[in-house]
Amino acid sequence: MNTAISILCDEHRSITAVLKGLQDRVARVKDGTEAPDFALFLSMFDYIETLPEKIHHPKENDYLFRFLRMRDPESAAILDILEAQHETGSVLLEDLRQKLAAYRDTGKLEPFEQALSAYAEFNWDHMRKEESIVLPRAEKYLTQADWQIIGAAFAANRNYAW
């Protein structure tokens, strides 16, 4: 597996781990086994905002998707969908932050829990599309030179201090 694909998949696993961690904590709050830790929830949101929204998605759009559009014009439709989802993700995250604030203020967990579930499913569906549709097409159509540029861009913030 080339460097860029390895990094992309590692970042997907990190995003998934944080989302599953959030869902697990919320499930424990719901069943009464622990109190809500709002500071932890906000820190997890900050991580999500930093990794996917500010680092991961721009790299995909600016490098992987851009090169794939050049080499495989038939991929444009799925890339348009994924790029639109990148925009939608930040809107959904902001909504999730608002639902958390409302939960903190009102004690009503359900709207926050539902928004978190919808946000997680949205992200997992998005990542599945990238891994099952885009990456195979990229492996087929991108050149070694393309991969070197993409790999360098993806590796540039590999050791980002979260």
pLDDT band for position 161 (cuts 50, 70, 90) = very low
Dump the DSSP string for 19-85: HHHHHHHHHHHHTTSS---HHHHHHHHHHHIIIIIIIIHHHIIIIIIHHHHHH-GGGHHHHHHHHHH
Domains in the chain, CATH or no CATH each: 3-155 (1.20.120.520)
Q: What is the pLDDT of residues 30-56, one digit of tens each?
A: 999 999 999 999 999 999 888 888 889
Provide the whole-model pTM: 0.90
Q: What is the pLDDT of residues 102-152, one digit of tens each?
A: 999 999 999 999 999 999 999 999 999 999 999 999 999 999 999 999 999
